[in-house]
């Protein structure tokens, strides 16, 4: 007890003495950068040119083998996306094993094997590594591509593209690549349905034979293995792999902007804009500027503590997040500042992004901010070294990019030496608010607000593949109500022809084009059978309507049977999906009630809508009158009527939740028993959540008897 008491007393005395000598108003000086004891990866090269890097890690009995090809594939722009098929084909059967046999052999040993156009990866327990390497070598040297497998991949690829067409981030990425690099640059290759279709089995085989070669490959061996073991195994399984000359591609120069442009990608009924401020940069891996740029980016927008995030989200509340990135590359790198912002603050968000870019270039950061970033970067770098795969990757990088041998060993020292002046000098070199591309994907109504940021005061418009398009501007029309009957959304459809366009004049012509008002009023019921492709699967859709308040829809898969059903009967409805049944949510019920009313276009006021002529706009080259309907609950429906035919060819809806759907109508034909009524038999549905779907109506009939049990 006495010893404990004395120890506590001594500790208290020491603390008091220390407090007297410590001036807490003075921040302690940063210590020297910690020394990185980075083990060198062990390496050897096979006679066929395969470079192997081994990192031992005997903590668990697992070994992984990761091949990486140092290649610049020459792919025809008309066959963009071909390289994305290679990985799946490489592991889809060999000359000695069918796909099923290959998969069974892999599963038997619990291995992971995956491939891409740029390499092959495999991992298993150490005791199974001979079986693993046998499979990997078979795939690497004896892959047997089959047409049926390529056809499956093409179908899957096309299905994936449908979603990307309406995904704002994918649209931004596409256009950014095209504008920064130019369409002829390999980095700007964009996959489309046409390029997928153009790719042949012979093309895939040529790629495999040309680029899957040992003399352009790096192999990282990581895990419970010694250098001697690795050398014996790699020689056994890959020593016979034949080397060959691999062509290199001369890359064209990127498009470095000399002024700031505003490049707008219209997206129907977008409730928020996706903003990217971008341009190419000349920043090569392993150069001294890479570490300085890393520090610069952490301050500007590398994480949730960056200035962009703190400004746009924390200060203004305009976005869930805003970030920046500087990418280094052996050919050409890129910069991007990014944010998603509500429509109403799109231009304000762009203004703040540019403001933060100017601020970090024109004003020196304070010393403490820089020190905080040094601490963060040092910590993340040290944590990364705990992963043996990181050690192997660093070793490959040094060889591949001809970096200094001690680049990673001196990494923290280089971080610690970055000064406030270095950050500003680096910002002046790489941050270019006066020569940027401001690329925005959003509602076209927001475009003109961005003109002030363009050096030339112009807006450039592009589609989602970076092709120049006409400005999708709605030309205003003076709306005239000749009879005074247009009140609270009520249309005076019997109004005399007006000299100037009105809601009534547009709608009357539309009614005549689809068979006349009497034919619409005569619709008592409607049934339709359609087919639609959903995520690569053909689904059959049945819809039945008894006006004014009964609606039923079911979706059936050829193998799975009914996968979805909805039934509306008056003011109630049920949803059935995957064996679960529930009541239709109130907000969905309201939308479906409009579909249940076959005369809804004749009395929109019944659903609380008011309407106006918004103007004239082109849709696929056709001049259209634009009618906008809104209600007090926040739903907006915009309809486009072809001036030449008076038919509705497009309709976009944004509901109260901000969920947007656009439908394109085509192939109008008379409906059976419809007394001359015509309806579109081809529909293309575009949705941010469901992607693009093409609906083909196989048959449609009006005024047939439909049993009440259908709606229960």
Kindly report, residue by residue over 190-203, the tens digit of the pLDDT: 999 999 999 999 99
- Find, among 606, 639, 700, the residue nearest to 511 by Cα: 639
Q: What's the confidence (pLDDT) of residue 591?
A: 74
pLDDT of residue 71: 93
- Looking at residue 382, its pLDDT comes to 87
Q: Is the pLDDT of residue 120 over 80?
A: yes
| E strand or H helix that includes residue 355 | helix 346-362
Q: Order across the sheet with 459-461: list the strands.
A: 322-327, 333-342, 272-281, 437-442, 261-266, 459-461
Please report which confidence band the pLDDT of residue 386 belongs to, taking 50, 70 and 90 as the band edges.
confident
pLDDT of residue 303: 92
According to the model, what pLDDT value does residue 37 have?
Answer: 63
Mean pLDDT of the region 28-53: 77
Helix ranges (H only) for 128-248 are 129-142, 147-164, 168-181, 193-198, 201-211, 227-238
Given this model, what pLDDT does residue 9 score? 32
* Segment (H or E) for 351: helix 346-362
Secondary structure (3-state) at 585: coil
Residue 483 has pLDDT above 60, yes or no: no
Going across the sheet that includes 42-45, the strands are 42-45, 51-56, 217-223, 62-69, 119-125, 112-116
Strand partners, 45: 51
Q: Residue 289: helix, strand or coil by DSSP?
A: helix
Confidence of residue 558 (pLDDT cuts 50, 70, 90): confident
Residue 561's pLDDT is 85
Of 2.60.40.1890, 3.30.1950.10, 3.30.830.10, 2.60.40.1260, the CATH number of 42-238 is: 3.30.830.10
Residue 34: what pLDDT? Answer: 55
pLDDT of residue 536: 65
Q: Indicate the pLDDT class of residue 40, thresholds 50, 70 and 90.
A: confident
How would you label 503-523 residue by residue, b for 16+ Cβ within 10 Å and e otherwise?
A: bbbbbbbbbebbbebebbebb
| CA-wise closest residue to 154 among 73, 82, 75, 78 | 82
The whole-number average pLDDT for the span 152-159 is: 90
Q: Beta-carbon neighbour count of residue 537 at 10 Å? A: 14
For 650-702, the pLDDT digits (tens) are 999 988 777 888 999 999 999 999 999 999 999 998 886 667 788 999 999 99
Strands 437-442 and 636-642: unpaired
Q: Which residue has the higher pLDDT, 33 or 434?
A: 434
For residue 20, the model assigns a pLDDT of 40
The answer to whether residues 661 and 695 touch, using CB atoms and an 8 Å cutoff, is no
Nearest to 150 by CA among 208, 221, 190: 208
When pLDDT is cut at 50, 70 and 90, the band that residue 372 belongs to is very high
pTM of the model: 0.83
Average confidence score pLDDT of the chain: 89
99 vs 27: which has the higher pLDDT: 99
**Tens digit of each residue's pLDDT (9 = 90 or more) over 201-218:** 999 999 999 999 999 999
Greater model confidence, 290 or 31:
290
Q: Assess whether pLDDT exceeds 70 at residue 15.
A: no
The C-alpha atoms of residue 378 and residue 413 are separated, in whole angstroms, by: 9
**Residue 38 predicted with pLDDT over 70:** no
What is the fold, at CATH topology level, of the domain defined by 261-375+402-461? Cytochrome Bc1 Complex; Chain A, domain 1 (3.30.830)
CA–CA dist 449, 256 (Å, integer): 25
Tell me: domain 503-711, CATH 3.40.50.2300, correct? no
pLDDT at 250: 87
Question: For residues 428 and 566, what is the distance between their CA atoms, to the nearest angstrom?
Answer: 60
What is the per-residue pLDDT for 496? 43
- For residue 366, pLDDT over 50 is answered with yes
Whether 42-238 shares its CATH topology with 503-711 is answered no
Instruction: Look at residue 5 and tell me whether its pLDDT is greater than 50.
Output: no
pLDDT band at 18 (very low <50, low <70, confident <90, very high): very low
The Cα 459–Cα 451 span in angstroms is 6
Q: Indicate the pairing of strand 678-687 with strand 691-702.
A: antiparallel
Q: How far apart are CA 26 and CA 35, in angstroms?
A: 26
Distance, in Å, from the CA atom of 692 to the CA atom of 683, rounded to the nearest integer, reads 10
pLDDT score of 21: 43
Residue 311 CA to chain centroid, in angstroms?
Answer: 24
Residue 143's CB is within 10 A of a number of other CB atoms, namely 22
Q: Is the pLDDT of residue 479 over 50?
A: no
Q: What is the pLDDT of residues 242-288, one digit of tens each?
A: 999 999 888 999 999 999 999 999 998 888 999 999 999 999 999 99
CB 639 within 8 A of CB 615: no
pLDDT band for position 481 (cuts 50, 70, 90): very low
- State CA 248 to chain mean position distance: 30
Give the C-alpha separation, 605 to 178, whole Å: 46
The β-bridge relationship of strands 261-266 and 437-442 is: parallel
Confidence of residue 535 (pLDDT cuts 50, 70, 90): low
The tens digit of pLDDT for each residue in 607-620 reads: 899 999 999 999 98
Contact 661, 492 (CB under 8 A): no
Mean pLDDT of 419-432: 97
The one-character DSSP state at 688 is: T
Crossing angle (nearest 10°) for helices 420-430 and 367-384: 80
DSSP-derived pairing of the beta strands 51-56 and 217-223: parallel
- In terms of C-beta distances under 8 Å and separation of at least 24 residues, what long-range contacts does 659-668 make, across chains too? 659/687, 659/688, 659/689, 660/268, 660/269, 660/270, 660/271, 660/687, 660/688, 661/269, 661/685, 661/686, 661/687, 662/268, 662/269, 662/686, 662/687, 668/513, 668/514
* Residue 665, pLDDT score: 97
pLDDT band at 149 (very low <50, low <70, confident <90, very high): very high
Query: Which helix (H) or strand (E) is 520 found in, with range?
Result: helix 517-521
The 3 state secondary structure assigned to 483-512 is CCCCCCCCCCCCCCCCCCCCHHHHHHHHHH
The mean pLDDT value for 370-385 works out to 90
Report whether pLDDT(180) > 60.
Answer: yes
Whether 423 has a pLDDT exceeding 50, the answer reads yes
Q: Is the peptide bond before 621 cis (omega within 30 degrees of 0)?
A: no
Q: How many CB atoms lie within 10 A of CB 351?
A: 14
- Confidence at residue 46, expressed as pLDDT on a 0 to 100 scale: 98
What's the mean pLDDT in 62-72?
95
Indicate the domain borders of the chain: 42-238, 261-375+402-461, 503-711
Give the angle 425-429-435 at the CA atoms, nearest 5°. Answer: 135
* pLDDT attached to residue 493: 43
> Which pLDDT score is estimated for 500?
75
Whether 32 has a pLDDT exceeding 60, the answer reads no
In this structure, is the dihedral angle defined by the CA atoms of residues 190, 193, 198 and 202, taken in order, positive or negative?
positive
CA triple 121-123-126, angle to 5 deg:
145
- Report yes or no: 289 and 429 within 8 Å, Cβ to Cβ: yes
Instruction: Give the mean model confidence (pLDDT) for residues 358-374.
Output: 95
């Amino acid at each position: 007890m006495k010893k404990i008491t004395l120890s506590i007393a001594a500790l208290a005395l020491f603390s008091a003495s220390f407090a007297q000598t410590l001036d807490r108003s003075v921040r302690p000086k940063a210590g020297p950068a910690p020394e990185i004891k980075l083990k060198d990866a062990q390496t050897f090269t096979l006679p066929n040119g395969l470079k192997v890097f081994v990192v031992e890690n005997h903590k668990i009995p697992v070994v992984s083998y990761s091949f990486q090809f140092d290649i610049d594939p020459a792919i025809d722009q008309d066959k963009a996306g071909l390289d994305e098929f290679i990985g799946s084909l490489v592991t889809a059967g060999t000359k000695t094993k069918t796909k099923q046999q290959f998969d069974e052999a892999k599963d038997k040993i619990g291995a992971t094997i995956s491939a891409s156009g740029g390499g092959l990866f495999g991992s298993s327990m150490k005791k199974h590594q001979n079986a693993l390497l046998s499979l990997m070598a078979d795939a690497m040297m004896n892959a047997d591509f089959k047409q049926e497998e390529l056809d499956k991949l093409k179908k899957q690829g096309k299905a994936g593209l449908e979603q990307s067409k309406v995904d704002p981030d994918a649209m931004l990425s596409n256009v950014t690549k095209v504008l920064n690099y130019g369409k002829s640059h390999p980095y700007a290759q964009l996959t489309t349905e046409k390029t997928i279709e153009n790719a042949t089995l012979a093309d895939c085989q040529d790629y495999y034979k040309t680029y899957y070669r040992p003399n352009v490959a790096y192999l990282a061996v990581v895990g419970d293995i010694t250098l001697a073991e690795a050398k014996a195994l790699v020689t056994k399984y890959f020593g016979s792999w034949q080397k060959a000359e691999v062509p290199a591609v001369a890359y064209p120069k990127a498009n470095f902007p000399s002024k700031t442009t505003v490049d707008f990608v219209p997206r129907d009924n977008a409730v928020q804009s996706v903003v990217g401020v971008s341009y190419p940069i000349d920043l090569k891996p392993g150069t001294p500027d890479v570490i300085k740029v890393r520090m610069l980016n952490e301050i500007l927008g590398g994480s949730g503590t960056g200035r962009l995030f703190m400004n746009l989200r924390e200060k203004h509340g305009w976005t869930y997040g805003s970030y920046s990135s500087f990418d280094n590359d052996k050919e050409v790198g890129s910069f991007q500042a990014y944010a998603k912002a509500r429509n109403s603050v799109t231009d304000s968000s762009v203004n703040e992004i540019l403001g933060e870019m100017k601020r970090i270039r024109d004003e020196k950061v304070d010393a403490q901010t820089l020190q905080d970033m040094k601490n963060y970067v040092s910590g993340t770098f040290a944590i990364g070294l705990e992963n043996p795969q990181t050690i192997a990757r660093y070793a490959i990088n040094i060889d591949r990019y001809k970096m200094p041998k001690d680049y990673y060993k001196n990494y923290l020292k280089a971080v610690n030496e970055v000064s406030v002046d270095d950050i500003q000098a680096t910002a002046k070199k790489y941050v270019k608010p006066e020569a940027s591309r401001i690329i925005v994907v959003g509602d076209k109504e927001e475009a003109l607000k961005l003109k002030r940021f363009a050096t030339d005061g112009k807006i450039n418009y592009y589609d989602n593949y970076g092709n120049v398009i006409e400005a999708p501007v709605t030309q205003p029309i003076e709306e005239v109500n000749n009879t005074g009957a247009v009140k609270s959304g009520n249309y005076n459809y019997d109004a005399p022809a007006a000299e100037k366009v009105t809601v009534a004049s547009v709608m009357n012509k539309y009614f005549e084009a689809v068979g006349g008002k009497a034919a619409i009023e005569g619709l008592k019921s409607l049934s339709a059978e359609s087919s639609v492709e959903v995520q690569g699967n053909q689904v059959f859709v049945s819809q039945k309507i008894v006006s004014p308040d009964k609606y039923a829809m079911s979706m059936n898969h050829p193998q799975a049977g009914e996968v979805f059903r909805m039934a509306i009967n008056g003011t109630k409805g049920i949803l059935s999906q995957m064996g679960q049944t529930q009541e239709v949510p109130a907000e969905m019920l309201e939308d479906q009630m409009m579909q249940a009313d076959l005369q809804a276009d004749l009395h929109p006021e019944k659903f609380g809508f008011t309407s106006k002529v918004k103007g004239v706009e082109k849709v696929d080259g056709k001049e259209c009158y634009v009618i906008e309907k809104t209600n007090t609950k926040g739903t907006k429906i915009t309809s486009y009527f072809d001036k030449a035919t008076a038919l509705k060819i497009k309709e976009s809806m944004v509901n109260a939740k901000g969920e947007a759907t656009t439908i394109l109508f085509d192939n109008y034909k008379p409906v059976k028993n419809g007394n001359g009524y015509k309806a579109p038999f081809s529909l293309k549905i575009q949705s941010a959540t469901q992607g693009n779907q093409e609906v083909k109506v196989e048959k449609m009939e009006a005024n047939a008897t439909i049993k009440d049990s259908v709606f229960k």
